[in-house]
Amino acid sequence: MNELRAYQAGKREANLRAINERVVDAIDSLDGGAAGLLTIICECALDNCAEMLVVPRAVLERARSSDIQFIVATGHVLVDIEHGVEHGDRWILVAKRGVAAASAAEEA
């Protein structure tokens, strides 16, 4: 993957993460953070993906502990720019590297 594409992938994933954070904030305002499972949009860099994922709150919190970690659907890992850190049934917690990590951190 070229550097421009990697940079754009990092930005896209950071933007999807921001959307998910707003949704989770809205859910938390209604239930006080009691939901153990949360439905989020896949945070992958694939252009046409809108897959919904159900993830444990604890996994989402681990992903949010780093500006370069995201939750993507199984099969959506772009091995040129990220690697899996933790796996669930339908999701993978990934960590960006290289240019994609830099652009994701820039957006945080």
Residue 82's pLDDT band, with cuts at 50, 70 and 90, is very high
End-to-end CA distance of the chain: 22
Residue 68 has pLDDT above 90, yes or no: yes
Domain count, the chain: 1
* Rg (alpha carbons) of the chain, rounded to whole number: 13
pLDDT of residue 78: 95
Domain housing 14: 3-107
| Structure tokens that stand for 48 in this block | 């046409």
Residue 33's pLDDT band, with cuts at 50, 70 and 90, is confident
